[in-house]
Amino acid sequence: MRASTYVRLGVMVAVTTACGGDSGPGGGSGGSGNQITGRERLAWDQQAPNQQELNGLRYLLWVDDTPDNMTGVTCEPLRSGVASCVGALRPMSPGEHRLALSAVGPDGS
């Protein structure tokens, strides 16, 4: 079984992916960035008033202001109105990226 890498998302995070040959921040051997390959999982805490509403949500991952439906999302059962969720993080090009996550209800709200 392959170990998964998890990235915990707050409201907004900046992700830097490694790029060979660049000695600047986030690049090459001197940078502190991580290569995002698409095998990583994003983790977050999701609030919902009840389990039915939680189950009806879908999630958009925004990368540099461009939304995409998240795949492979699973959430634990609600505890005190909050559930821990994880979903697939898509591959990204080298460089810094802005990430944001949106929960969308069945009616699009």
pLDDT at 81 (0 to 100): 94
pLDDT at 91 (0 to 100): 85
pTM above 0.85, yes or no: no
**Residues β-bridged to residue 96:** 16
Segment 9-40, tens digit of pLDDT: 443 333 433 333 333 333 333 445 667 777 78
Segment 40-96, tens digit of pLDDT: 889 999 999 999 999 999 999 999 999 999 989 999 999 999 999 999 988 888 888
pLDDT at 102 (0 to 100): 94
What letter represents residue 39's amino acid?
Answer: R
